[in-house]
Structures are given as C-alpha cells and as structure tokens.
C-alpha cells in the first residue's frame, strides 16, 4: 500500500504543478485574445459617430443666448480644444473650483449659452434615441488630444487638495460589501471574469486605462465618459451613485488622471 | 433626421475598399423598456452603394445587424477621385445618403 500511496502523492504534486503553470499562462493568452478583439473593433470605432456629433454641437448656437461653445475655456485658453483633455481636471480661477471636462462644459453652457445648470446637467448619459450632448462633446474634445501626453498639474493648492481627496476616496472602504476602488484596482494581474483590472496606483496601468476613456462600450452601444465609468464602479461597489459633475467625482478623476501623467492620450477607445 | 455616415474609400490594389459606419439604433422589436412595454422594431432594411452611376452593392438587412452598423466591402472598376455613394432606408421610411471620394 505504501508505495502506491507515495506514487499518488507524487502524481498529485505533478498535477498541481501543471495546473499552476496553466494558471500562470492563462491570463496572458486571454489578454492577447481580447486585444485582438479590440484591435478588430478599434479600426472602425463607432465613437467617431459621437465625435462628429460633438463637433457640430460645439459650433451650434444653443440656449437662451443663442451662442456656441466656441469661446469656452477648457483650461488651455478660450476656444482652444486641442490638448485640453490632457490638462484636465484643473483649477479654474473664474469658478474658484477644480473642474473636469464635464463640469467645465456645464459651466460653459451656463455662462456662454445661458442654459440653466440643472438643464445642462439633465441629460448626461444617453440611451438610444435619447442622446446626450455631453457624451458627444466629450468624445470630440477628447479626440482632439489624441497623440498628446497627459499633463495634469498639481501646482495649485486647490489641485493638491483635490488630489488628496480623490486618493482618500480611492482607498475608502464602505458599503454592504466593504469595498473600495482599491479592492480591485491596487494589485497587479487581477481580473473580473475575462476583464483584466488595471492597477490604477501604478503609472503603466493608470496610463493605459485613463488614456482610452471616453470610450464606446460595445455592450451598451453607447459612448461613455469617465464619469459614467466611475459611476459604474460605484454601482458595482453598491455605493449610491455620485452626483453628476460633482466635486467628489472631479477629485477622484484628478487622482486617476494625475497617476496617468506622461501616458499618450489614445481615445476615445473601444470598450467591452 | 438621421446622423451622417462615416465613409472611407481607398484603393487596395486594383479594387476599392469601402468602410462605412452608420448611426442607427437597429432595434430588434424583441426588447422591452423599463415599464415592460415592447420597444418597436426599427432597423435599416436596404443598403445600396453606387459608383459612377453603377450599383456596386445592394443588400437587404434585418434585425440581426448590430446597432451602429459597420459595413466593409470591395469592388472593381473605379479609380482615385471617383465618388462612392451609400444609401440606406429603414423600416420607418427614414433614409440617408452620404458620399465619399476614393483616395
């Protein structure tokens, strides 16, 4: 009996070793296959349809003041769109706040076009024929930073404060599942089902993630902004949905954007 | 009013390669909205492509085609500078035609 028993143990060990090897290799092959799928879609990304709509919206005279957004200051001067996405979120002296792209667009719609704030924020996530001007504008504005490195500044005390708040939010554990963003996004090589989860505390993963949003989500058939992505993360954590264009979301966005500094912007991307 | 298509047309050897992105909901009629009511079918039924007055592609589509469809095809008998026109008609009778120059 004894020799057989020993042989069985040896066999088990060999199997475990083989299984270990398979597990070690599997994520990389899965990753490769997903990359192929993304590449096939990426060449003809439906986000382009949103970009075209966004450009038209930027130039269209809207609101009670019948004005376009062409004089909107997105952080690189009034009316300058090129490169704007790479410096956001940032501090704006006119509002005295750190703002991300979406909250800044709300400001411009209010000040330039005379659209009431609640109205500007109302239709922020589109669904089918009910389209969101925000998503289209964000797609076009972001596309105008393609090929440029992320360059988010922390030179102002307000920006440093927002970064610290965003960081605290990232690591804040709460809710029915005692989750934080960091639960999934602060270790290497984690995944949910087939999706690899970026470790957003490291520059490499933060760059890869941040520089491909906004993105066309194939599963929704819609273009989604960074705020939508963050809301979705909070939904998965069973948190209440953050308020649209709020200071809290801007702070978290600033934390992620800053961690992605130096990464070359490559969006709007294609997402699952 | 339907949104414009994105059309790319370029020579690939002796053929023209055309790539088209269309903005359309392509509702199958099988889905229900939040209140449980069926969402009516709404989809592109026919697609045609013409070049120099000649139909180079004619297709009948149904509900199995995805939202915001992407169409790619090749044809012979055109040169750079010629124009390719793509048209679609959906089951509401809504239509859209866009054009691109072959590069």
Give the β-pairing of A215-217 and A269-271. parallel
Are A10 and A125 members of one domain?
A: no
Q: What are phi and psi of B72, to 5 degrees?
A: -130, 135
Helix and strand element counts for chain A (H, E): 11, 7
Q: Does A219 touch chain B if contact means CB atoms closer than 8 Å?
A: no
> What is the model's pLDDT at position A41?
65
∠ at Cα A110 (B23, A108), nearest 5°?
Answer: 65
Domain annotation covers residue B40: yes
Give the β-pairing of A195-197 and A190-192. antiparallel
Domain annotation covers residue B1: no
Are A58 and A149 members of one domain?
A: yes
Q: How confident is the model at residue B15 (pLDDT cuts 50, 70, 90)?
A: very high
pLDDT at A196 over 70: yes
Residue B36 or residue A128, greater confidence: B36
- Rounded-to-integer distance, Cα B80 and Cα B103, Å: 5
Are A8 and A106 members of one domain?
A: no
B34 by DSSP, 3-state: which?
coil
A199 by DSSP, 3-state: which?
coil
Q: Does B6 touch chain A if contact means CB atoms closer than 8 Å?
A: yes
Min Cα separation B30/chain A (Å): 15
Min Cα separation B90/chain A (Å): 15
pLDDT at A18 over 50: no
Give how many domains chain B has, as a whole number: 1
Residue among A46, A52, A129 whose CB faces B68 most closely: A46
Domain annotation covers residue B56: yes
Question: What pLDDT, in 10s, does the model give residues A242-251?
Answer: 999 999 999 9
Give yes or no for a contact between A203 and A259, defined as CB atoms under 8 angstroms apart: yes
> What is the model's pLDDT at position A190?
87
Are A37 and A64 members of one domain?
A: no
Are A10 and A20 members of one domain?
A: yes
Q: Which residues pair with A98 in a beta bridge?
A: A91
Mean confidence (pLDDT) of chain B: 93
Cβ <8 Å between A221 and B72: no
> What is the model's pLDDT at position A107?
96
Range of the domain at A229: 45-271
Range of the domain at B93: 6-101
CA atoms within 13 A on the CB side of A11: 6
Provide the CATH number for the domain around residue B22. Answer: 2.60.40.10
pLDDT at A11 over 60: no
- Rounded-to-integer distance, Cα B19 and Cα B75, Å: 12
Element (H, E) at B20: strand B15-21
> What is the model's pLDDT at position A43?
66
Residue among B3, B19, B67 whose CB faces A221 most closely: B67
Rg of chain A (C-alpha set): 22
pLDDT at A206 over 90: yes
Residues of A annotated as catalytic (active site), given as ranges:
233
Provide the CATH number for the domain around residue A263. Answer: 1.10.760.10
Contacts of A40 in chain B (CB under 8 A): none
Tell me which DSSP letter residue A263 carries. Answer: P
Task: Count Cβ atoms within 10 A of the Cβ of residue A121 and give its class: 0-12 exposed, 13-18 middle, 19 or more buried.
Answer: buried
Question: What pLDDT, in 10s, does the model give residues A53-99?
Answer: 999 999 999 999 999 999 999 999 999 999 999 999 999 999 999 99
Closest CA relative to residue A81, chosen from A72, A90, A89: A72
A43 by DSSP, 3-state: which?
coil
């Amino acid at each position: 009996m004894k020799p057989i028993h020993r042989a069985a143990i040896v066999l088990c060990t060999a199997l475990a070793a083989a299984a270990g090897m398979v597990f070690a290799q599997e994520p990389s092959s899965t990753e490769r296959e997903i990359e192929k799928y993304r590449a096939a879609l990426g060449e003809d990304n439906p986000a382009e349809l949103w970009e075209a709509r966004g450009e038209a919206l930027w130039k269209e005279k809207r609101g009670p003041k019948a004005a376009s957004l062409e004089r909107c200051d997105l952080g690189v001067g009034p009316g300058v769109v090129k490169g704007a996405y790479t410096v956001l979120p940032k501090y704006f002296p006119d509002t005295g706040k750190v703002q991300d792209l979406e909250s800044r667009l709300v400001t411009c719609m209010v000040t330039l076009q005379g659209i009431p704030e609640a109205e500007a924020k109302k239709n922020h996530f589109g669904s089918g024929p009910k389209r969101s001007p925000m998503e289209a504008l964000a797609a076009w504005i972001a596309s105008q930073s393609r090929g440029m490195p992320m360059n988010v500044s922390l030179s102002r005390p307000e920006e440093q404060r927002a970064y610290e708040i965003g960081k605290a939010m990232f690591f804040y554990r709460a809710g029915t599942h005692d989750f934080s963003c960091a639960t999934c996004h602060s270790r290497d090589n984690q995944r949910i089902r087939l999706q690899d989860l970026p470790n957003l505390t490291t520059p490499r993963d933060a760059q890869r993630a941040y520089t491909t949003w906004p993105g066309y989500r194939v599963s929704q058939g819609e273009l989604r902004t960074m705020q939508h992505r963050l809301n979705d993360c909070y939904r998965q954590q069973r948190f209440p949905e953050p308020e649209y264009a709020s200071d809290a979301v801007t702070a978290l966005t600033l934390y992620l954007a800053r961690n992605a500094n130096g990464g070359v912007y490559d969006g709007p991307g294609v997402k699952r | 009013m339907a949104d414009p298509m994105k059309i790319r047309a370029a020579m690939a050897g002796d053929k023209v390669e055309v790539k088209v992105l269309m903005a359309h909901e392509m509702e199958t009629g099988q889905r229900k909205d939040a209140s449980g009511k069926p969402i009516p079918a709404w989809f592109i039924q026919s697609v045609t492509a013409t070049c120099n007055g000649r139909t180079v592609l004619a297709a009948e589509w149904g509900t199995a085609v995805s939202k915001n469809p992407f169409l790619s095809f090749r044809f012979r008998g055109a040169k750079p500078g010629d124009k390719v026109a793509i048209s679609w008609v959906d089951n509401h009778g809504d239509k859209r035609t866009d054009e691109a120059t072959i590069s």
